[in-house]
Structure 1
Amino acid sequence: MTASSIPATLGFSVFGTGPEPVLVLHDWLGDQSNYDTLLPHLDGAAFTYAFVDLRGYGHSKHLRGDYTIDEIAIDCLGVADALGWSRFHVIGHSMTGMATQRLAADAPSRIKSAVAVCPISAAGNRLSTEATAFFALTCENDDAFRRLVKFVTAGAPDDWVDAKLRRNREEVAVECRRRYLDMMTTTDFSDEVHGLTTPWLVIVGDRDAGLDAEAMKATFLAWHPNAQLAEMKDCGHYPMQTIAPAFASLVETFLRTHAD
């Protein structure tokens, strides 16, 4: 995978040289390196993957902005333009699940298909006052961060959690952490996505508390006539890291179905 950046666009890394372009987005807690474990299992002859860092993350850590869903969509289309992609697939994880919907609403003719992994939807993730305070605490408090990761992974090993913490503190700008949390918990553009005919694969882990199959049935599957749900077994919030071979197979089977 080779790192790239083009002036005025997000930083990204490219893997593969195949004819089917795929834009890949990360979650709130981590940058594009979330997908490093996945790379050996991807078909680089069939697909070209661009792993993007949002403003404030990884290769884009220096970029400041408004940290809104509209900005994310504009930035992602800028990366696609820079790569010469007129049409492409998009994968979003957790926070950027809603970005797959924003992109499909804003540029429906450009999105071949979308994969939403353990996603927050266009309706946002409404939290109680207590939960909001806890999530905000994770932006600075290491113990709170560890507790959150343990919760969404159903008790991942300590060394794995600590590695995710170190990466977050090194590669996610302090300025953006709370702003993206505000985006996730206050955004609602669900009225703009009802009826979108983009093909969606919605993936959840059976051990991911909160963002479960029932939540997806009430959002993505209720709104999008061409959405399908896949529940991965013995899996929490990070299937691309914890069960990479099965995740790659599931995703690429879907992408091939919607290739040109």
Structure 2
Amino acid sequence: MKAPLEARPGSKARLGYVRYGNGPVHVLVMHDWLADHSSYEAVMPWLDGHAFTYVFVDLRGYGQSIELAGEFTIKEIAADCLMLVDQLGWRRFHVIGHSMTGMITQRIAADVPSRVASAIAVCPVSAAGNRLSPEALAFFVSTVEDDGALRRLFKFVSGGLSDAWADRKVQQSRDTVAPACRRRYLEMLVKADFVDDVRGLETPYLIIIGDKDPGLDSEAMRRTFLAWHPNASLHVIPNCGHYPMQECPPYFATVIEDFLKREVPLN
């Protein structure tokens, strides 16, 4: 039996989101820099909607929240997400972040440690930010408007998936991300630094990476998440790049739910 799928439009008072499932365990899921919640559509059919309620949020400038203006900062994202879970009536919850929002799982866990039951960071940028070289930063800035550059980025981080896949990712990004927010969130990624706030957090953490994702590899995770979080573990998905929820959806669903089901069910 397929779990119900529910969509809510974004507004000034609430971020847009898609809900999947109606289970007693609550999971907030955040997307990456380059697309909205639709990056997770391929994985939704493989999730256990009877055990879990998943809410896939669209941050300001994305998807159903594409019209929402803002400062586009770490603090704002965390505050918006906490407002959403309050509006949903969730006392405690699990949180998942991908790439850019890996660091947001840390910010939320640091801000409300008693409410975050566990966190999953997927191919994540950490609280130390992503200190790019001038050349790399110039390339990332170019992807904001240059479709060819964006296409090369998708090919690179996926370990060389097909041209058709990269083309579809470019279209998804252009359709779901407001141009005004792209450069601001990139600045946030590059300049982030709140490591002192997250050192020693006892929140159970699962770090998921793909073995074909360049830069965000096992060594990078050992220097960051695994070094700072005493209850963190690492799972490396074989033959996978930066988008495991799209590259291997059933396996990705199994990995996250095996971890979540080890936690005490929440009511």
The two structures have a TM-score, normalised by structure 2, of 0.96
2:10–2:65: 8 Å Cα contact kept in structure 1?
no
Q: Which runs of 5+ in 1 are unaligned?
A: none
Q: Distance in 1 between matches of 2:264 and 2:125?
A: 25
Partner secondary structure for residue 108 of structure 1: coil
Name the amino acid aligned to 1:222: A
Q: Distance in 2 between matches of 1:37 and 1:5?
A: 21
Equivalent in the alignment of 1:59 = 64
How far 1:6 sits from its partner (Å)? 6.6
Of 117, 131, 134, the residue aligned with 1:112 is 117
Partner secondary structure for residue 180 of structure 1: helix
1:235–1:243: 8 Å Cα contact kept in structure 2?
yes
Q: 1:176-207 CA distances to partner (integer Å, 9 max, x unpaired)?
A: 00000000000100111000000000000000
Partner secondary structure for residue 7 of structure 2: strand
Q: Distance in 1 between matches of 2:23 and 2:9?
A: 20
How far 1:5 sits from its partner (Å)? 3.8
The sequence identity of aligned pairs, in percent, is: 60
Of 175, 198, 209, the residue aligned with 1:193 is 198
How far 1:231 sits from its partner (Å)? 0.4
Q: 1:25-75 CA distances to partner (integer Å, 9 max, x unpaired)?
A: 000011100000001100000000000001000000000100001101000
Equivalent in the alignment of 2:85 = 80
1:6–1:82: 8 Å Cα contact kept in structure 2?
no
Structure 1 pair 154–18 and aligned structure 2 pair: CA distance change class (3 A):
same
Q: Which runs of 5+ in 2 are unaligned?
A: none
1:98–1:120: 8 Å Cα contact kept in structure 2?
yes
Equivalent in the alignment of 2:171 = 166
**Most deviating of 102-111 and 155-164:** 155-164
How far 1:76 sits from its partner (Å)? 0.5
Equivalent in the alignment of 2:181 = 176
Of 16, 25, 36, the residue aligned with 1:20 is 25
Q: Distance in 2 between matches of 1:65 and 1:209?
A: 31
Equivalent in the alignment of 2:238 = 233
Of 32, 48, 63, the residue aligned with 2:53 is 48
Asked if residue 2 in structure 1 is aligned to residue 6 in structure 2, the reply is yes
Partner secondary structure for residue 50 of structure 1: strand
Partner secondary structure for residue 114 of structure 1: strand
1:56–1:172: 8 Å Cα contact kept in structure 2?
yes
Name the amino acid aligned to 1:101: Q
Segments of 4+ in structure 1 off by > 2 A? none
Partner secondary structure for residue 23 of structure 1: strand
Q: Distance in 1 between matches of 2:196 and 2:66?
A: 32
Q: Distance in 2 between matches of 1:259 and 1:207?
A: 33
Name the amino acid aligned to 1:56: G
Q: Distance in 2 between matches of 1:148 and 1:161?
A: 9
Q: Distance in 1 between matches of 2:108 and 2:208?
A: 18
Asked if residue 245 in structure 1 is aligned to residue 250 in structure 2, the reply is yes
Structure 1 pair 6–156 and aligned structure 2 pair: CA distance change class (3 A):
closer
Paired residues, number: 260
Q: Distance in 2 between matches of 1:231 and 1:176?
A: 31
Asked if residue 210 in structure 1 is aligned to residue 206 in structure 2, the reply is no
Partner secondary structure for residue 18 of structure 2: strand
2:10–2:64: 8 Å Cα contact kept in structure 1?
no
Q: Distance in 2 between matches of 1:26 and 1:181?
A: 14
Q: Distance in 2 between matches of 1:90 and 1:164?
A: 24
Name the amino acid aligned to 2:260: L
How far 1:259 sits from its partner (Å)? 3.0
Partner secondary structure for residue 21 of structure 1: strand
How far 1:79 sits from its partner (Å)? 1.0
Name the amino acid aligned to 2:6: T
